[in-house]
Structure formats: C-alpha cells, structure tokens
Amino acid sequence: MDSRKFYESDKYTEARAVRELASDTDLILVEGM
C-alpha cells in the first residue's frame, strides 16, 4: 500500500482524527526513497 492510500484509508482516518486532537504534526511524504 502506498503512503497516500494508507493516509486516506478508513482505518487511518479514524486514528488520524484522534491524533490531530492530541498533537501538532507536520507530515511530509517523499516518493521514491
């Protein structure tokens, strides 16, 4: 699974909602490394 598909998946969307309430995060995805 690529990073964008994971980030937009239903399972991670639920976890992301909790994470966004609990932290301040900057996310950078780099393809090809």
The pLDDT assigned to 4 comes to 84
3 state SS of 6: helix
Residue listed under structure tokens 């909602």:
17
Dump pLDDT digits (tens) for 1-33. 688 888 889 988 888 888 889 988 888 878 886
Residue 9: CA atoms inside 13 Å, Cβ hemisphere, count? 10
Residue listed under structure tokens 């995060």:
25
Is 7 within 8 Å of 29 (Cβ atoms)? Answer: yes
